[in-house]
Amino acid sequence: MSDRSDVVIIGGGVVGLASALALVEAGRSVRVLEARTVGSGSSHGNCGTITPSHSLPLAAPGTIGRAMRWLLTPDAPLYLRPRMDPSLWAWLARFAARCNMRDLRQATAAKAAILSHSRQALPSWLARYGIECEFAESGTDHIFRNAAAFDEFGEEVRLLAEYGVPSEKIEGAAYEREEPAVLPGVHGVIRFTGDASLRPDRYVAGLAHALLQRGGKIVEQCEVRGLAQDGDDYRIASAQGAFRGRDVLIATGAWSPRLGKSLDLAAAPLAKAMQPGKGYSITYDAPALMPRRPVVLHERSVCVTAWGSGFRLGSTMEFSGYDDALNRRRLDALERGSREYLRQPVGPAKREEWFGWRPMTYDDLPIIGRVPGRERLWLATGHGMLGVSMSTGTAQLAADLICGREPAIDPKPYRVERFA
């Protein structure tokens, strides 16, 4: 087997696999190198919601105040473990500087563009590749039990509408009649009608299968250890030997800053731009009574996704570096939140407790484009909590850039140069 490909992709998560598939469709030979197994990172345990409704960035007026109130509460939706970490505090300072309306609108326009493109492309993408992943175009419901929180969220809804994100309001009593899974006491619901959902592990498995069917190659347990230009190609040293590629795409999610440092990508300041944000989920067998569509239990920031094959509680954001301990208190907070809203808050059998790191940029936008000063070396990372939601749009943009085509999405907002 030849060790050379037109494009070598480092990272076998949802973004790397989707980009590989788009490049194979464009006529390129592609090899994906994955340090563990495909889809084993945050592509695996997320809630699988496809959410143009998440077009607003995390950096927004009021975010810092909420974060400070939660700072010493270990089971709060957002938790910063107190420690001396200069890189984290520098990242937080840059994040805080963007908590204003001018930067919020700029980021919202860019997030909405790639999220909307991805959402529109996804149904035909799944059909073309025959991917069975329990995809449903049902929308998502944000459930409120507090009137003040509901009214405050109204401003976000109005902003989202300006960027083409549709929604509708439902009175609490009407929603309780419509949705028997919820407990009494719902004040109101915002339904984002353009959202969708899928089972992310099956989506990733389907991407890998479609890629292999079309001649792409995947090498697992293949940690990359070096990258150097060798004539017109790049030579990639790895745990499975050496590989060559004319182009290289780095799609390693939250591990991108570490890989960038080891590969001496000084022109792409990934360590400055990104922090790992730890998320949690619990997956159960399906209870008898489940919400009819994905729901966000708003005051507790818990996402609930129900598939025919299972039931998942997820979310939370923890900034604790690459700490690989499973925090029981934060897992328990998911179940406590669910019990406040749902008649059957957990499933009859627990199948998996999971955590993973999301690649969080301080402006809450992905990084897609060429590494400055390095021909044919590309990045597709920094998707935060929205890697699945942005996967098809990212794949399209990455393939357009690598193949020298007119991009379907304006690439400027996602370039790494913005962090220089």
Q: Mind listing the pLDDT tens digit for each residue in 287-307? A: 999 999 999 999 999 999 999
Least confident of 59-73, 98-112, 318-332: 59-73
Residue 321 CB burial class (10 angstroms; 0-12, 13-18, ≥19): middle
| Angle between helix 200-213 and 101-129 (nearest 10) | 60
- Unique residue bearing structure tokens 């899974």: 181
pLDDT of residue 78: 83
> What is the three-state SS of 284-307?
ECCCCCCCCCCEEEHHHCEEEEEE
CA 143-146-152 angle, 5° bins: 85
Question: In the predicted model, is pLDDT for residue 82 greater than 80?
Answer: no
User: pLDDT grade, residue 75 (50/70/90)?
Assistant: confident
The torsion angles phi and psi of 237, rounded to 5 degrees, stand at -90, 135
pLDDT of residue 1: 43
Q: Mind listing the pLDDT tens digit for each residue in 390-414? A: 999 999 999 999 999 999 999 999 9
- Contacts (Cβ under 8 Å, ≥6 apart) of 89: none
> pLDDT > 70: what percent of the chain?
99
Going by C-alpha positions, the residue among 242, 300, 276 that lies closest to residue 382 is: 276
Contact 110, 41 (CB under 8 A): no
**Average pLDDT for the chain:** 95
| Angle between helix 147-162 and 101-129 (nearest 10) | 80
pLDDT of residue 67: 76
- How far from the centroid of its chain's Cα atoms is residue 264's Cα? 26
> pLDDT > 90: what percent of the chain?
90
pLDDT of residue 141: 98
pLDDT of residue 292: 96
pLDDT of residue 393: 98
Contact 301, 315 (CB under 8 A): yes
> Is 415 strand, coil or helix?
coil
Q: Give the helix/strand (H/E) hosting 389.
A: none
Q: Mind listing the pLDDT tens digit for each residue in 248-276? A: 999 999 999 999 999 988 878 999 999 99
Least confident of 5-14, 80-89, 293-302: 80-89
Question: In the predicted model, is pLDDT for residue 72 greater than 70?
Answer: no
For the chain, the farthest-separated pair of C-alpha atoms sits apart, in whole angstroms, at 68
Q: What is the dihedral of CA 209, 369, 275, 143, to 10 degrees?
A: -70
How far is 25 from 23, CA to CA, in rounded Å? 5
Going by C-alpha positions, the residue among 295, 338, 311, 312 that lies closest to residue 143 is: 295
The tokens of 188 are what? 């109101």
- Contacts (Cβ under 8 Å, ≥6 apart) of 58: 95, 360, 364, 384
pLDDT of residue 337: 95
Question: In the predicted model, is pLDDT for residue 173 greater than 90?
Answer: yes
pLDDT of residue 70: 73
Q: Give the helix/strand (H/E) hosting 96.
A: helix 86-97
Task: Look up the pTM and report it.
Answer: 0.97
Question: In the predicted model, is pLDDT for residue 2 greater than 90?
Answer: no
Mean pLDDT in residue range 362-382:
97
Q: What is the dihedral of CA 397, 401, 407, 409, to 10 degrees?
A: 30
Contact 319, 277 (CB under 8 A): yes
Going by C-alpha positions, the residue among 38, 14, 42 that lies closest to residue 220 is: 38
The tokens of 174 are what? 């009407």
